[in-house]
Structure 1
Amino acid sequence: MNLLENSLYKEDIEYILGKELPWEKIKGKSFLISGATGLIGSCLIDALTCFEEREKSGIKIYAIGRSKEKIANRFNPDIVTAIEQDVNKPFMDEIKSVKADYVLHLASNTHPMQYSTDPIGTIMTNLIGLNNMLEISTDAERFMFASSVEIYGENRGDVDRFDESYLGYIDCNTVRAGYPEGKRAGESLCQSYIKQKGMDIVIPRLSRTYGPTMLWSDTKAISQFIKKGVDGEDIVLKSEGTQLFSYSYVADAVTGLLYVLLLGENGGAYNIADEASDIALKDLAAIIADYAGKKVIFELPDATEAAGYSKATKAILDSAKLKALGWSAGYDMKKGLERTIDILKAN
């Protein structure tokens, strides 16, 4: 079943399109989006596609991914043009010729197994890949770089929540550091392009995001838990589960991106998170286990898995800056998790 044929997922798209946003700003515009088939990129493109199917304003979406066939099979070809490209490699003329109004760099290695097995690619997507995207976007109306909660590093114990000015400790001499340090350097690169080339750039900082558009290869803890819940198996927790993090259901993450894209200020960074989705890992696992009628079991990770895990024990985001733009979340943790499992089971 195509996700857009699923009634619950269609409700998610309606929820996104029902937000009080200046939708007139995107009518007839063109979008260039990397990471098009990822967790967040695919949901965003679904929402933009559904908007265009209704409004018929002339929106065009150029979707970048590593598989042209996968993109073409996933989205409406009348609206979405598939472009096969590794963003870390020199760009083909097909991409260089695109004159997009909005450019969104969403591509990134985003889960532990990728961090430990492809640490070079993890860093370079947020440096070389980002630079490649910026270089062809100097005339764009606005550029977006999707950053992460990981840029805050470890909580030094001096604050309860991270606001956009906080910077915690990161040990850069580890393989795992490639992701947060890459995002930090990427944000700095964006500020350099604003200063030197006069670009308009916004930076959403995503909390840990989940939802029915997740890739089945995703090795994040929450994704592993969800897969077990879908398959009706016990939830395997590879730690004591005391880590306290902020999460976002993908539909809320996408609305956050849209608020930042359409209402954020040039150069601004914005946390995307909501207090109703702040939860300890063991409690998150328990919600899924209870819904699946199973139990939580504890198991030690192997060396490769452990190398990709975050050492942070508390990463709770302050989203007051985004909420000041009018954003609010619609899904708490329990609702989002149960919804994700239901949609994935049906598909």
Structure 2
Amino acid sequence: MITENQEYLAELRDWADRYQDWDSLQDQTIMVAGATGMIGSTLIDWLLLLNQEKQLNCKVIALGRNKQKARARFASYWEQAGFTFVEGDINQGINCDQDVDYVLQAASNTHPLAYSKFPISTITTNVIGTNNLLDYAAKHKAKRVIFLSSVEVYGENRGDTDKFKEDYLGYLDCNTLRAGYPESKRTGESLCQAYLKEKGLDCVILRLSRAFGPTLLATDSKALSQFLKKGIAKEDIVLKSTGTQQYSYIYSLDAAAAVLFALKHGESGQAYNVAGAKCDTSLRGLAETIAKLAGSQVVFELPDQEEAAGYSTATKALLDTEKFQQLGFKADTDLEQALAATMRILAARS
């Protein structure tokens, strides 16, 4: 169980020691949608660890579709007074009627096979589910909503910039299956702006780069996730392209830290890029780093049609994080160190 993995707990404690600004969470109630996902579960683990070690006395309301899955994931604190799991699909509404201080919208399909197999729920979770959460937050007078958006809202780099700043708009062909994810994330951001204007709801948008970490789900089909699985198994890393694509990445613990930081320091209505300061690399460079850690090699293989349908067509998607750094936050975990820690912790879970 990951919540009993000492290296994972040490990683959480390390960020807790570096970021001391916990007073805004004291005695607060925090709703986390997408509770068993990579970022959502990290946030919940962290908050409950802080309850224990920093006496925060915060309450976590975890939203998810599968109680059995959640109970297995959060067994360490299922019976704790500070933790409540609420089962249900946010597209159908929020099965809860309790005042909350903060709402974290981390529920979304986030990998290629999910985009191609479940394109409807990919869109509806980012739009209808987000609308339901925003409506809940407004009715229950939440202090702030954090919407986890994506680097993919920028579309394709038109070759006129090295890194995406928050005001950049690239090309995106909306009349494709693959467009469902970035277009619905764009609409989710627009809903945040609408609720801010019409309901006075405080919303902050975080545009995350490609994330990885020890809470990675076994079903995740992103290229990075597949590289990690192969690396843990000491198998050759399969690259399904030439690997020249350039992307920004972020360690999941850094992403969770960014969410908690934005709860206090983000400016309402603003969108912020979030990426690792030391995590820009090519897809091939990423594969080679994992292969080096695993003692294996990189091999090339074309994807099948269904898998390829879910892949991003972006060839350069690097994020400029200066705007968020100016608030005082910097995700500076070294890429190779983060990959090595991820592989060790995931290997211990298997």
* Fold match by TM threshold 0.5: yes
2:93–2:129: 8 Å Cα contact kept in structure 1?
no
1:21 Cα deviation after fit: 4.5
* CA deviations over 1:141-199 (Å, ceiling 9, x no partner): 11111000000110011111111111111000000000000000110110000000000
Alpha-carbon offset, residue 42 of structure 1: 0.7
Partner of 1:238: 240
Residue in 1 aligned with 2:346? 344
Write out per-residue CA displacement over residues 91-141 of structure 1, whole angstroms, 9 at most, x where no aligned residue. Answer: 33xx1x121100011000000000001111111111000001111111101
Counterpart residue number, 1:220: 222
How many angstroms apart in 2 are the aligned matches of 1:55 and 1:221? 37
Report the residue type matching 1:213 in the other structure.
T
Distance in structure 1 (CA, Å) of the matches to 2:113 and 2:292: 27
SS for the counterpart of 2:319 is coil
Structure 2: distance between partners of 1:274 and 1:344? 20
Structure 1 stretches of at least 4 aligned residues deviating more than 6 Å after TM superposition:
none
Please name the residue that 1:199 is paired with.
201
What SS class does the counterpart of residue 236 from structure 1 fall into?
Answer: strand
The residue aligned with 1:14 is 13
1:35 and 1:64 in contact (8 A); partners too: yes
Other-structure match for 2:72: 73
Partners in 1 of 2:226 and 2:264 — Cα distance?
33
CA shift for structure 1 position 56? 3.3
Q: Corresponding residue for 1:47?
A: 46
| Separation in 2, partners of 1:4, 1:18 | 18
Unaligned 5+ runs, structure 2: none
Scaled by the length of structure 1, what TM-score is found?
0.97
CA distance in structure 2 between the partners assigned to 1:57 and 1:233 by the alignment: 43
Question: Mean alpha-carbon deviation: is it higher for 320-329 or for 188-197?
Answer: 320-329
Q: What secondary structure is seen at the aligned counterpart in 1 of 2:206?
A: strand
- Hey, what does 2:132 align to over in structure 1? 132
1:16/1:47 contact within 8 Å kept: no
Amino acid at match of 2:268: N
Larger mean Cα displacement after TM superposition, 328-337 or 119-128: 328-337
Structure 1 residues not aligned, in runs of 5+: none
Kept after mapping to 2: 8 A contact 1:21/1:259: no
Alignment of 1:246-261 (within 5 A): 246-261=248-263
CA distance, structure 2, for counterparts of residue 179 and residue 127 of structure 1: 10
Deviation at 1:313? 0.1
Match of 1:300 in 2: 302
Deviation per residue, 1:191-247 (Å, 9 max, x gap): 000000000000011000000100010000000000001111111111111110000
Confirm or deny: 8 A CA contact 1:225 1:236 kept in the other structure: yes
- What SS does the corresponding residue of 1:267 show, helix, strand or coil? coil
TM-score (norm 2): 0.96
